[in-house]
Amino acid sequence: CSTLLTSVKALNILVPGGTGTIAKELFPLLSSHKITVLTRNAFLAATPTRVSSDFGHLGSSFLSANPHVSLRDWDGGDLLDIVGQDWMGWQQDTLPKADIILNLVGGGYTEQRVMATERLVRESLSFAPTDVAFITVSPTEEDIKVHSKGMYPTKLKRLQLCEDMVTQNCRGETYCLRCDMFDTKALCEQICEVVGKIEKSKE
């Protein structure tokens, strides 16, 4: 993956939900690009140690070691449950300069994932360039069966709904990745491969 990253043109990658395990392994591999993480609480995501399991956390040491990564509060798609202090205007601040939207919100496929995806798609149509690429990262059907037995039909329906929202509405390239969410290394390699394809298409 690292061979992708010697870019002539650094891409602006917008990553909603980029405060978990995947992000921590992925972001150092994308060091030649500029990454903006949309998080529901940027302050808590950047504290030296994690203070709440309710919110994602990258940590101050990780951010210091990866200066190409910055944080931005957003509403998370749920206007009734806003917790960040500076969420207003995230669309105008981030979407107009985005080359890629990489959606990592809610791997558990709760309603939060659906609301966040709808919000991203709707706002990207208003503010993002017409050629912005959209990558969704989802678990495989087998993963859902094994780890969400009682919720399998509901979660699979949400997963498909999120993918359909992206493919049917976004104007640029769309990539819907179905990944083994427990093989972080392979997942990151898949994402890097797609980023490399998008990078070449924009040369």
- At 52, the pLDDT band (50, 70, 90 cuts) reads confident
Weakest mean pLDDT among 76-85, 111-120, 133-142, 156-165: 76-85
Using the structure block, give the residue that is written with the tokens 């791997």: 107
CA distance 185 to 54: 25
Q: Which pLDDT score is estimated for 148?
A: 77
Q: Which pLDDT score is estimated for 81?
A: 61
CA distance 177 to 67: 27
Tell me the residue type at 69.
V
Please give the C-alpha separations between residue 105 and each of 52, 66, 111, 120, in angstroms, as whole numbers. 17, 21, 11, 11
CB 69 within 8 A of CB 63: yes
Judged on CB neighbours under 10 Å (0-12, 13-18, 19+), 28 is: middle
Choice between 203 and 13, residue whose per-residue pLDDT is larger: 13
Angle between helices 152-169 and 111-127 (to 10 degrees): 0
Using the structure block, give the residue that is written with the tokens 């399991």: 53
CA distance 60 to 64: 6
- At 194, the pLDDT band (50, 70, 90 cuts) reads very high
CA distance 104 to 77: 13
Tell me the residue type at 170.
C
Q: Is the pLDDT of residue 6 over 60?
A: no
